[in-house]
Amino acid sequence: MAKKLRETLKIIEKYKKANPHYEELLDILGEMLILREEVSNNVKTETFTVDENLLEKKMAGGLPLIDIAGGSFDLSQPKAYFLSLLNIAERRAPEETRQMIQEIHDGSLNFEQMIRDSFHLLPYDDSEDSEDSEDDETLDLIDLFIEESLRPFLEKVAERYGDMIAKSTWSEGYCPICGNEPRIGEIREEEGRRYLFCNQCGFEWKFRRIKCPFCGNEEQQSLAYFTVEGEEKCRVDVCNVCRRYVKMVDFRSREEEANLDVEDIATLHLDILANEEGYH
């Protein structure tokens, strides 16, 4: 087991003791990370390739390196990983999960379309009846695994081109690798620079402190943040123009580095608070 994974699993155990109500989700995350490591170490062929002749043009034009929704890719490896991830869900919701596995095998559920649909989420509409949105933990878990199914393969792209992107003029609020939007980020370096994190591919990129990643609003009076007493290392940056938010963690005063996969789970109460305040 790689050193980084061992350290992450230790962090998960620490958070489970401090936040018992997140124990099941953190256990799922731990299982997922172990499986991710195994898959990443056994990737046979590249799922996502980049036309290096277009690198500079894409960065300058605000286009991510990989067009998940519009591109054509062989998703057989992510599909196999997704089916492995469903074994984690099966222990918690056996009937629903077995049905999904069967539907994927017989073709009535198209995995590739599920992936494309996950990148075509409709913008938030607060006029919708909230009763139409079911609070189904199994479906939430499936959404998590759909996102995760691409992670080991997109990480290969991030590892290869991350340094180049860091030196580019990329200034968008969505991921320069895959185009996904951030849920969490961190404050780093003495200057307090803001970095956004992509859960889809694990990439972090620098982004302006006074700017909304989602609508580009730069008016300081309409940008704000809130914290929870006793958890000052975490905050929620909100925009009062588009009513979106992103969680931020600040580990500069601590010896350890922030693990944003873990922090995203351990700060779910901040998502709830943001939603209650009308942010999405």
Average pLDDT, the chain: 91
Residue with tokens 């990148």: 119
**pLDDT greater than 90 at residue 124:** no
Q: Tell me which H or E stretch contains 97.
A: helix 94-106
Q: Model's pTM, two decimal places?
A: 0.91
**pLDDT greater than 60 at residue 215:** yes
In the sheet that holds 245-250, the strands lie side by side as 204-207, 193-197, 184-188, 245-250, 234-239, 223-226
Per residue in 27-45, pLDDT (tens digit) is 999 999 999 999 999 998 9
Per residue in 63-83, pLDDT (tens digit) is 999 999 888 999 999 999 999
**pLDDT greater than 60 at residue 190:** yes
User: Strand 234-239 and strand 184-188: pairing?
Assistant: unpaired
Confidence class for position 7, pLDDT limits 50, 70, 90: very high
Nearest CA-CA partner of 250 in 242, 239, 258: 258
**pLDDT greater than 80 at residue 134:** no
Confidence at residue 128, expressed as pLDDT on a 0 to 100 scale: 41
SS3 230: coil
Distance CA 8, CA 262 (A): 8
Distance CA 171, CA 227 (A): 26
**pLDDT greater than 90 at residue 122:** no
Q: In whole angstroms, how far apart are CA 251 and each of 16, 17, 185?
A: 19, 20, 11
Confidence at residue 133, expressed as pLDDT on a 0 to 100 scale: 40
Distance CA 280, CA 239 (A): 10
Confidence at residue 1, expressed as pLDDT on a 0 to 100 scale: 61
